[in-house]
């Protein structure tokens, strides 16, 4: 068995996740109007932030280097009440891409924003 020297805890939290989007107006309608997130910072509608708990979800205009869609990062959002979130998604006609699913430690489902970015909605058991 290989032993590794003790490495100090270097990181505290996920500071932010960035999603490039094709259309900021359409993305804002989804994140604010459909998911109910509140804008906490906005730089000329080119970079918009939503603080969620200790972290931040940022959307920004896609460019040649940062393409929108399912081939980038995925954000997992911890929900307060999974059943209520499912009802909310149904009322807003948001399709569930995968799930709902159960694991020994959580319940969840995956939805997509208008650019195809995946969002895992997660509830610890």
Q: Tell me the per-residue pLDDT of 32-82, one tens digit each, with 9 for 90 and over.
A: 999 999 999 999 999 999 999 988 999 998 887 778 876 677 888 999 899
- Counting the structural domains of the chain, the total is 1
What is the domain-level CATH number for residue 114? Answer: 3.10.180.10
Report pTM.
0.77
- pLDDT, tens digit, 9 for 90 and up, residues 75-116: 889 998 999 999 999 999 999 999 999 988 789 999 999 998
The torsion angle over the Cα atoms of residues 61, 64, 67 and 71, rounded to 10 degrees, is: -160
Instruction: Tell me if 107 is assigned to some domain.
Output: yes
- Domain hosting 86: range is 16-124
Q: Residue 2 — pLDDT band, cuts 50, 70, 90?
A: low
What is the rounded radius of gyration, in angstroms, for the C-alpha atoms of the chain?
A: 16
Residue 15 has pLDDT above 90, yes or no: no
Instruction: Tell me if 8 is assigned to some domain.
Output: no
> Which of 108, 120, 64, 62 has the alpha carbon at shortest distance from 83?
108
Which residues does 32 contact at the CB level (< 8 Å), separation at least 6?
38, 39
Instruction: Tell me if 11 is assigned to some domain.
Output: no
Instruction: Tell me if 77 is assigned to some domain.
Output: yes
């Amino acid at each position: 068995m290989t032993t590794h020297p003790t490495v100090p805890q270097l990181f505290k939290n996920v500071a932010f996740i960035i999603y490039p989007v094709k259309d900021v107006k359409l993305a804002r309608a989804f994140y604010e109007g459909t998911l109910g997130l509140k804008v906490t910072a906005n730089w000329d509608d080119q970079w918009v932030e939503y603080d969620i708990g200790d972290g931040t979800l940022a959307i920004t205009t896609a460019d040649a280097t940062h393409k929108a869609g399912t081939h980038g990062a995925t954000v997992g959002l911890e929900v307060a009440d999974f059943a209520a979130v499912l009802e909310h998604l149904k009322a807003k006609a948001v399709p569930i891409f995968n799930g709902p699913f159960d694991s020994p430690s959580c319940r969840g489902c995956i939805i997509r924003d208008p650019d195809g970015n995946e969002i895992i909605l997660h509830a610890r058991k």
